[in-house]
Amino acid sequence: MPFVRIDAHDDTGGARLDALGRAVHDALVDTLGIPPDDRFQVLTAHDPARGTLRYDDYLGVHRDAGIVFVAITLRAGRTTGRKEALYRRIAQLAEEYAGTEPRNLFVTLTENTSADWSLGDGLAQYVGSGSC
């Protein structure tokens, strides 16, 4: 049950953000076994002319106006290897679907526990459950 936020410049009427959302979701399904219908995303377009996204060349990675910030919240338990596979797959699919250069992908994972989720109805559905 990941919750995904994507922030990017988009002057395509939402087509780029849609492609990025599909890329991240497909990568989660491919690498972490997330169910295909488990998609919860907030996609936010930023006007490139206003320059509301900030970035530098930290760790020698040259970023530009194609920057994409991806924040994924999910339950803890994945190995470092699975996380690395996720980052690689997001980069591959974002380039394929949205033309985003891998150097422009900034991805963070935030892990929590089953009790930290309510999927509706005021319930903590994962408490006592073994679901994704």
Give the catalytic positions in this structure.
2
Distance CA 111, CA 82 (A): 14
Cβ-contact 57, 64 below 8 angstroms: no
Distance CA 67, CA 101 (A): 9
Distance CA 114, CA 59 (A): 34
Cα 37 to Cα 41, 51, 55, 100, distances in angstroms: 12, 34, 33, 25
